[in-house]
Amino acid sequence: MRLLFLGDVVGKSGRVAVTERLPGLVSDLKLDCVVINGENAAHGFGITEAIYQDLLDAGCDCVTLGNHSWDQREALVFIDRAPRLVRPANYPPGTPGRGAALIEAKNGAQVLVINVMGRLFMDPLDDPFVAVEREIEAAPLGRVADAIVVDVHAEATSEKNAFGHIFDGRVSLVVGTHTHIPTSDHRVLSGGTAYQTDIGMCGDYDSVIGMDKTEPLRRMREKTPGGKLEPAGGEGTLSGIVVEIGANGLATSAKALRVGGVLEQTP
């Protein structure tokens, strides 16, 4: 199985990059499954039902979220009728939606997608490690799920690094999202789990983590209230990771993907 995970889609630049480029990548790379973090897709903050559907129509099989899950209030309602939309599993009991989804990939495989939010320098939610344990116990790799993907939406590199080692050999991929800056540590860990601390974003990198530079730079220099943050509007880069997954559900290779925009392109 060949799986692509794309980083946080930020605003229109990120959405256009996905809708214009993903169909071709699905065909050219012979992708069996595509997962995208969509928590910044609606003008940089949250996601709408229309955007969720646009991502699916472009070839995405599952959309994950994070700390901006509810910035668009409609998400509190439509998430319950969106079976391929996954919010952090460590939100408190009673939160709308689901923290994991067992989806059918393009090749018929069963892929368990889990989303959790870190707790270092983030909202103090329930224990994310316990949440992942709970979800993989309910759909174990090789017995229920043909592949398991864990999106760790977190600030601290140490916390995401720990996730990779703790679940190495028990899931197919542990990938970090949230910081919007891709790290260069993509690899297959010793137990067979593909890992990358952060896969970056799908958006305009001539920006401050996807936002037009003017207001963030002013805020950092002047430390006074000002205008709203607006997504940068230049050409977006698709940033993600492509993972080959064997018959046992573990990874055999992990390669970075960067297409379009100002970053160095991958082969």
State residue 163's pLDDT score: 97
Tell me how crowded residue 143 is: count the other CB atoms within 10 A of its CB. 8
Cα(170)–Cα(166) distance, integer angstroms: 9
- Across-strand partners of 102? 112
**Catalytic residue list contains 178:** no
| pLDDT category of residue 214 using cuts at 50, 70 and 90 | very high
**In the predicted model, what is the mean pLDDT of residues 195-213?**
97
pLDDT digits (tens, 9 = 90+) for 76-102: 999 999 999 999 999 999 999 999 999
Annotated active-site residue in 68, 153, 178, 186: 68
Closest by CA to 179, choosing from 153, 203, 205, 158, is 153
- Strand 110-117 and strand 100-104: the pairing is antiparallel
State residue 5's pLDDT score: 98
| Residue 194 scores a pLDDT above 90 | yes
Domain locations in the chain as residue ranges: 2-205+232-257
Query: CB-based contacts of 23: which residues, under 8 Å, 6+ apart?
Result: 58, 59
State residue 267's pLDDT score: 79
**In the predicted model, what is the mean pLDDT of residues 151-159?**
97
Cα(210)–Cα(4) distance, integer angstroms: 21
The CATH architecture one would assign to domain 2-205+232-257 is 4-Layer Sandwich (3.60)
| pLDDT category of residue 73 using cuts at 50, 70 and 90 | very high
